[in-house]
């Protein structure tokens, strides 16, 4: 019960017993010729028992010795166990091998009935009244118990209990019942320091720890609690001050977070306004652009009528051709903006990024800008040519703005082959960029230019993703930035739109 949690469901009760709590007992016997009449007279003698682990055959007898103030462990010089074999306890006493013996409940009457001993052959020590039962020398205790273990199914326990308690007993000398008093048994175990009370008389440190572990731990915890209380009282002011500092810091963090959220909301509002204005501009600017084209055509007709010289006419025609190209470029830009506003599906075609980069270089108007082109001849991808031109032009213009005013400023165009992808990089050697500015690259509304709206790189990032790629930025050391466009490769025939300078230096608006 103290270790695995067994629980009594039935107790054996002989018909000679009036109470299941007072059933079994031990009997001390000596030869009739033995002068001993009390248990104290057996000190230093030899005693026989069936089994030292037998409840009524030895343990109850030990409890009686202890009750009379005798030491059950040292009272006898020798305890002879028969192990229920021959010769039995009575025989060992009869032949003088043992001075006394211990018999279990009603064993004395059974030996008389079977004729194994004779009336008057033995004397009962410390005999108690029979009270309708068998002879005894000790108090009575509960008999054999049926117990259930805690992991057994409750229905099984119920069925077994019912079966045991309803077992017919008319042909038996006992019946099964329920005992409600096991206190004497527990007191016996406590007295003998066995079962759940094993080692209770041991005063060694290990035994004391085993018996009083809970109390010792509680005492130590109490001492620790007192010490902790003293320390916490001394540190309370410091702790509260620290908590107040943390609360102030947390309030500041909340304020900054609210401010950032407010700025983000303003950025979204600006983005929406720019988007609306872009749609309006694309809608309204197309007609003036067409008028410019018509005026250029009218100038050509006028030149034919005026009859000016061929050389002058050639120069004006060259200017008009350039004007026409710019008009076509403007119309293309407007058409793209209008397609975004109308959410038309994107059409991807085979594009050579090397040609797009060469075209993007023409959009830069910085005088004396030095660009080193290291791109290969063919960088075929499937994408929208105009959108790729927008991204790469944005990269080049940003690089040009970064090195503006730098005597040794230069821009390098290069590509990397990543098995299934092309990486086109625009690298500049501009001034070092702070962590805060670098973290804002590609985010809407963030710009380090005085006249910038902060939407160029954000739009470029969205366009790259829409074309199945993405853009990346890398800070170079000790200074400079690398802006990268990464797109999936595509096989296709090489299409030469215009010559590109490869592995050469380009200086815009200069002599070389």
**What's the pLDDT at 5?**
82
Query: Binning pLDDT at 50, 70 and 90, where does residue 207 land?
Result: low
- Closest of 106, 100, 107 to residue 125, by C-alpha: 100
Q: Within a 10 A sphere around the Cβ of 402, how many other Cβ atoms?
A: 21
Cα separation, 246 vs 191, in Å, equals: 62
**What's the pLDDT at 212?**
76
Asked if residue 15 lies in contact with residue 47, where contact means CB atoms within 8 angstroms, the answer is no
512: tokens are: 């070389």
Residue 405: CA count within 13 A, CB half-sphere: 3
**What's the pLDDT at 455?**
59
Answer yes or no: is pLDDT of 512 > 50.
no
**What's the pLDDT at 270?**
55
**What's the pLDDT at 332?**
67
Vertex 92: Cα angle to 89 and 97 (nearest 5): 140
* Mean pLDDT, range 491-509, rounded to an integer: 43
Distances in whole angstroms, Cα of residue 199 to Cα of each of 202, 267, 274: 5, 80, 89
Tell me which range, 144-158, 224-238, 452-466, is most confidently predicted by mean pLDDT.
144-158
* Mean pLDDT, range 169-185, rounded to an integer: 87
**What's the pLDDT at 275?**
54
Answer yes or no: is pLDDT of 336 > 80.
no
Mean pLDDT of the chain, nearest integer: 81
Cα separation, 28 vs 72, in Å, equals: 14
For the question of whether the overall pTM of this predicted structure is more than 0.85, the answer is: no
Q: Specify the DSSP class assigned to residue 59.
A: I
71: tokens are: 């030491």
Torsion of CA 125, 126, 130, 135, to 10 degrees: -20
Asked if residue 21 lies in contact with residue 133, where contact means CB atoms within 8 angstroms, the answer is no
Q: Among 85-94, 147-156, 312-321, which is the least confidently predicted range?
A: 312-321
* DSSP assignment string, 408-428: T--EEEEEEEETTEEEEEEEE
495: tokens are: 């299409």
249: tokens are: 């810091």
Answer yes or no: is pLDDT of 271 > 80.
no
Query: Binning pLDDT at 50, 70 and 90, where does residue 264 land?
Result: low
Q: At a CB cut-off of 8 Å and minimum separation 6, what does 194 contact?
A: 59
Query: Binning pLDDT at 50, 70 and 90, where does residue 419 land?
Result: confident
Cα separation, 271 vs 290, in Å, equals: 29
Cα separation, 138 vs 67, in Å, equals: 10
Q: Among 109-123, 154-168, 298-312, which is the least confidently predicted range?
A: 298-312
Tell me which range, 52-61, 344-353, 364-373, 487-496, is most confidently predicted by mean pLDDT.
52-61
Cα separation, 488 vs 353, in Å, equals: 12
């Amino acid at each position: 019960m103290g270790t695995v949690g067994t629980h009594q469901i039935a107790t054996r009760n002989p018909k000679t017993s009036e109470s299941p709590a007072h059933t079994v007992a031990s009997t001390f016997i000596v030869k009739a010729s033995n002068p001993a009449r009390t248990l104290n007279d057996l000190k230093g003698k030899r005693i026989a028992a069936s089994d030292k682990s037998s409840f009524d055959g030895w343990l109850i007898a030990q409890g009686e010795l202890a009750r009379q103030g005798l030491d059950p462990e040292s009272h006898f010089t020798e305890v002879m166990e028969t192990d229920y074999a021959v010769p039995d306890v009575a025989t060992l006493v009869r032949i003088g091998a043992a001075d006394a013996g211990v018999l279990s409940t009603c064993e004395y009457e059974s030996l008389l009935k079977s004729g194994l001993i004779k009336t008057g052959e033995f004397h009962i020590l410390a005999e108690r009244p029979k009270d309708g039962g068998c002879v005894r020398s000790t108090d009575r205790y509960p008999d054999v118990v049926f117990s259930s273990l805690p992991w057994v199914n409750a229905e099984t326990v119920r069925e077994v209990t019912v079966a045991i308690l309803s077992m017919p007993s008319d042909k038996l000398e006992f019946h099964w019942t329920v005992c409600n008093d096991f206190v004497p048994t527990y007191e016996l175990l406590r007295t003998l320091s066995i079962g759940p009370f094993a080692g209770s008389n041991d005063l060694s440190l290990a035994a004391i720890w085993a018996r009083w572990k809970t109390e010792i731990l509680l005492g130590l915890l109490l001492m620790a609690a007192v010490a902790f209380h003293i320390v916490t009282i001394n540190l309370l002011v410091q702790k509260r001050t620290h908590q107040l500092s943390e609360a102030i810091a947390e309030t500041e963090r909340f304020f900054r977070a609210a401010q950032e959220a407010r700025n983000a909301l303003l950025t979204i509002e600006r983005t929406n306004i720019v988007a609306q204005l872009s749609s309006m501009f694309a809608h309204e600017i197309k007609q003036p652009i067409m008028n410019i084209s018509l005026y250029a055509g009218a100038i050509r007709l006028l030149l034919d009528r005026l009859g000016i010289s061929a050389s002058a006419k050639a120069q004006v025609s060259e200017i008009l051709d350039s004007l026409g190209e710019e008009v076509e470029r403007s119309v293309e830009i407007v058409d793209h903006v209008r397609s975004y506003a109308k959410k038309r599906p994107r059409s991807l075609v085979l594009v050579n990024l090397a040609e797009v980069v060469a075209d993007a270089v023409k959009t830069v108007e910085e005088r004396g800008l030095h660009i080193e082109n290291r791109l290969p001849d063919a960088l075929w991808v499937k994408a929208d040519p105009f959108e790729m031109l927008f991204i790469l032009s944005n990269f080049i213009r940003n690089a040009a703005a970064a090195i503006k005013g730098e005597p040794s400023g230069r821009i390098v165009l290069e590509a990397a082959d990543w098995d299934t992808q092309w990486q086109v990089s625009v690298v500049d050697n501009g001034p070092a960029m702070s962590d805060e500015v670098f973290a804002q690259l590609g985010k809407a509304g963030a710009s380090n230019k005085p006249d910038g709206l902060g939407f160029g790189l954000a739009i470029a990032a969205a366009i790259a993703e829409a074309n199945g790629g993405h853009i990346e930025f890398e800070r170079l050391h000790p200074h400079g930035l690398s802006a990268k466009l990464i797109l999936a490769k595509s096989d296709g025939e090489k299409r030469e739109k215009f010559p590109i300078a490869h592995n050469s230096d380009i200086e815009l608006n200069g002599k070389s």
